[in-house]
Structure 1
Amino acid sequence: MKLQAVSNRKLYIQIADQIRDQILGGAMAPGRQLPSERDLALGLGVSRPTVREALIALEVAGLVEVRVGVGAFVRQREAAGDALPEMSASPLEIMAVRRLLEPEAAALASRHVSPEGTARLAETLRRMRAETAAGQWSSESDRTLHMTLAESSGNAVLREMLDGLWASRRGAVDTRFHQHLADIGAVRAHILNDHEAIVAAIVSGNDDEARSAMARHLQFVADAMLEAWE
């Protein structure tokens, strides 16, 4: 594939644009596997995670099929579209900001959570256990748990900032990115255990452990976003 190096913001969209043009121009036949993330990253002068975001944007557009642990394949032309999803924030950038804010939100929640908040956390965990046992994952349950913590922090500005981040996560690329992770059973089980530990620390009023548990959870998800498909 003949590609051009890119150096601007939202690199994943620029990369996706180039690969889309190659596909729609007939340079890559349906069913063909795209070069590896490593080769694409080297050719473009960007990181592999950024390439991964681009491939997911192409998947959302119907141009490629991402097979976890295998690679990305050009879809049949009749199944492919030509428009990339709306330009949304980078899933990796969203995660980076969450890692700055959510551990402190969890610590604050351990000091200020109300009985109603505690009950909502318990109900959300019950739902998550049932979903995990059924081999499922719900982005809505995930959001409910994290936003309950934000609402329990006692800081309206922090809550609004986190609400904005979670609204950004509803973009098509971010949603598909996390769904690929959630399709991995070990990842689903780990995330449930993380949420159990976070809620236990908050309910017990242990702010240091709540902060640490949230930081460990987000570190795990961030690592999974980078490593789960290698």
Structure 2
Amino acid sequence: MKLQAVSNRKLYIQIADQIRDQILAGAVEPGRQLPSERDLALNLGVSRPTVREALIALEVAGFVEVRVGVGAFVRDQGKVGALPDEGHSPLEIMQVRRLLEPEAAALAAQTISPESTARLGETIRRMQAESAGQKWSPDSDRMLHMTIAEASGNSMLREVLDLLWNSRSEDVDTRFHEHLADMAEVRERIFGDHSRIVGAIVSGNRETARSAMADHLDFVTAAMLQAWD
């Protein structure tokens, strides 16, 4: 009886494996553009978001350069590394954040302390300065969201969100968000979202805080999914 081994590797890493093998076999020369996300998805029988995650994993490993709005280009293979096989799917992380963080914001609007209020104000001011300098800081982003989680008063919710934000620091997820932050309109929208979330929490408006956080995470998810080539 012949059985095929079952792989528990993440789908986007399995896709990255196939594209990497084609690159190493010389199917696409250095400097040339890979087929579009749409074509790769059709040929591989997977979704475009899965292809996008695979391309970013390949970028982290040094096989390709992803140019937002253009596509992925094969790099010289002299300095490639291993694929980041241990990380989580950035889109799956966003799905779980979308389930939990709106409720954390709603709870924070009811229970936030003066200390957490001051910390949120300081973080927003820092984000405003960063935005004015056309920058985006993952540290400021995490500080804001985790301050809200802490202010929710629910220690289990805070621990789960801390785990999710630790996953956000993984290579593929970090690079994914760096691509988003390269777009001025995305940076501006995210800062505006954060300001509205903090305003709702500080004013004690539970429902507005919940909806502002949900709208923010919906926007970021949509930005991650929109066509890049």
TM range (shorter): over 0.9
Q: Distance in 2 between matches of 1:75 and 1:104?
A: 43
Q: Does 2:15 align with 1:40?
A: no
What residue number does 1:29 align with? 29
Q: Output the amino acid matched with 1:217.
A: H
> Contact (CA 8 Å) 1:107, 1:207: kept in 2 or not?
yes
Q: Hey, what does 2:228 align to over in structure 1?
A: 229
**Identical-pair percentage:** 73
Which range moves more in the overlay, 82-91 or 209-218? 82-91
- State the Cα distance separating 1:138 from its structure 2 match: 0.4
Q: Which residue of the partner structure matches residue 4 of structure 2?
A: none
Question: Are 1:68 and 2:83 matched, yes or no?
Answer: no
Corresponding residue SS for 1:162: helix
Task: Give the deviation of 1:77 after TM superposition.
Answer: 2.3
What is the CA-CA distance between 1:22 and the residue it aligns to? 1.1
Q: Which amino acid aligns with 1:54?
A: A
Structure 2 partner of 1:161: 160
2:32 match: secondary structure: coil
Distance in 2 (CA, whole Å) between partners of 1:77 and 1:157 is: 45
- State the SS of the aligned residue for 2:197: helix
- Written as runs of structure 1 = structure 2, the 5 A alignment for 1:185-224 is 185-224=184-223
How far is the alpha carbon of 1:228 from its aligned partner?
A: 5.5
Query: What's 2:170 paired with?
Result: 171
* Whole-angstrom CA distance in 2 between matches of 1:87 and 1:73: 24
- Segments of 5+ residues of structure 1 without an aligned counterpart are 1-6
Measure, in 1, the Cα distance between the counterparts of 2:99 and 2:87. Answer: 20
Deviation at 1:24, TM superposition (A): 1.5
| Runs ≥4 residues deviating over 6 A | none
C-alpha displacement at 1:8, in angstroms?
Answer: 6.6
User: 1:75-224 to 2 correspondence within 5 Å?
Assistant: 75-78=75-78, 80-224=79-223
Q: Quote how far apart the aligned CAs of 1:130 are.
A: 0.4
Secondary structure of residue in 2 paired with 1:178: helix
**Please, which runs of 5 or more residues in structure 2 have no aligned partner?**
1-6
Normalising by structure 2, report the TM-score.
0.95
Deviation at 1:23, TM superposition (A): 1.1
Q: What letter matches 2:91 in structure 1?
A: L
In the alignment, the residues of structure 2 paired with residue 191 and residue 145 of structure 1 have an alpha-carbon distance, to the nearest angstrom, of 12
1:105-152 deviation line (CA, Å, top 9, x unaligned): 000000111000000000000000000000000001000000000000
Once the 2 structures are TM-superposed, how far is the Cα of residue 85 of structure 1 from its aligned partner? 1.6
Q: Which residue of 2 aligns with 1:14?
A: 14
Q: What is the Cα deviation at residue 71 of structure 1?
A: 0.2
1:9, 1:222 → 2: CA distance?
A: 23
Distance 1:76 1:9, change over 3 A: closer
Q: TM-score, normalised by structure 1?
A: 0.95
Say whether the 8 Å CA contact 1:132–1:188 is kept in structure 2.
Answer: yes
**Contact in 1 for aligned 2:62/2:77 (Cα 8 Å):** no
Whether the 8 Å CA contact 2:16–2:58 is kept in 1: the answer is yes
- Other-structure match for 1:49: 49
Query: One-letter code of the match for 2:14?
Result: Q
Residues 30-67 of structure 1, C-alpha deviations (whole Å, 9 max, x = no match): 01110000000001111001100000000000100000
Aligned to 1:4: none
* RMSD of aligned residue pairs (Cα, Å): 1.4
Tell me, yes or no, if the aligned pair for 1:56 and 1:177 is still in contact at 8 Å: yes
Aligned length: 224
Match of 2:99, SS state, is helix
